[in-house]
Amino acid sequence: MRARAILIAGPTASGKSALALELARRRRGAVVNADSMQVYRDLRIITARPTIEEETAAPHFLFGHVDAATNFSVGRWLEDFARVLRDIEARDLTPIIVGGTGMYFKAALYGLSDIPAAPGDLREALRAWARDKTPRELHAELAARDPDTAATLRETDPQRLLRALEVLEATGKPLVSFHGLRGPPLLKASECAAFFLAPERETLYARIDARFELMAQKGAIDEVAALKARGLDPALPAMRAHGMPHLIACLDGRLTLEEAILRSQLDTRRYAKRQFTFARHQLPTFKWIAGETPLRDVEDALNARARPTSGRE
């Protein structure tokens, strides 16, 4: 059975984007971004977004379409993806969804928890209150008021901590109480071919380190400086892209460039480890591709899926 969509997940620097582009060329496909940082137009270099040349080699969607001042979310991505999916299928192209944000894939395949939106004035008031709070202080506040939700969130994730506080303020109910209520999925797992690129860890970490050094040489610092000059709220997702806080500290004179690069590499390696863990537990239908020839392995799997099966009538 021909796949309705091809899903390519994997840790950062695993070669997802190159694989997606080559599949798009071979299979009349359109590449759709499923990376929460590559949605921001201000962050091409530091998020390793496809180049302009790559974006023109095949149709690309949901890359760089959001301003950094926007508090983008999984729900917003799902709305954009629904619109793009209709467009791609109307053009008789194969959607190739690629990225490292596991929650985007989970939402597309299994639906999103039906959590009420907080009123805009409440959100603004909470964010103003949280501006001088550390993530640890936000976690302590949530733990005191909603221990069940706090137990599911990391102390280093201010965005999700704020979201939990918003829901608590708006509804009077814990965020976890909404997790069992899901909207219908946009894709059925049985109709998709889903892959998770899983290079050997030491090889992957070496790629991460080399790539960040190259980013620093190719303009990432100027990119960060331009965004810093806008004076945006540091709690916004775009301001927490991997490498962003450390390069800002470098620009402020609080870190040397070497220290900023080393800390950014370490943060990115830790993030890659969490991406493996999420996929292992939350994306059960994804086929892991661990070899050194991911294009051949994925093509073989796609061809086997499309091959008619023989049997008695």
Domain that holds residue 48: 5-112+182-306
Phi-psi region of 288 (alpha: psi -120 to 50; beta: other; left: phi over 0): beta
- Residue 160 and residue 194 in one domain: no
- pLDDT digit string, tens, across residues 27-37: 999 999 999 99
Count up the domains in the chain and report the number: 2
- Domain containing residue 53: CATH number: 3.40.50.300
**Is there a single domain that holds both residue 53 and residue 196?**
yes
Confirm if 288 and 196 have CB atoms less than 8 A apart.
Answer: yes
Domain check: are 101 and 243 in the same one? yes
138 and 188 assigned to the same domain: no
Q: Are residues 186 and 205 in the same domain?
A: yes
Confidence band, pLDDT 50/70/90 cuts, at residue 300: very high
**Residue 311 located in a structural domain:** no
pLDDT of residue 180: 63
Q: What is the pLDDT of residue 313?
A: 36
How far, in Å, are 64, 98, 144, 208, 231 from residue 32 at the CA level? Answer: 11, 6, 40, 23, 30
- Tell me the C-alpha distance between 200 and 6, whole Å: 23
64-105 pLDDT per residue, tens: 999 999 989 898 999 999 999 999 999 999 999 999 999 999
If one counts every other C-beta atom within 10 angstroms of the C-beta of residue 51, the result is: 12
- pLDDT per residue as tens digits for the range 91-142: 999 999 999 999 999 999 999 876 777 787 888 888 889 888 888 999 999 9
CATH number of the structural domain spanning residue 160 = 1.10.20.140
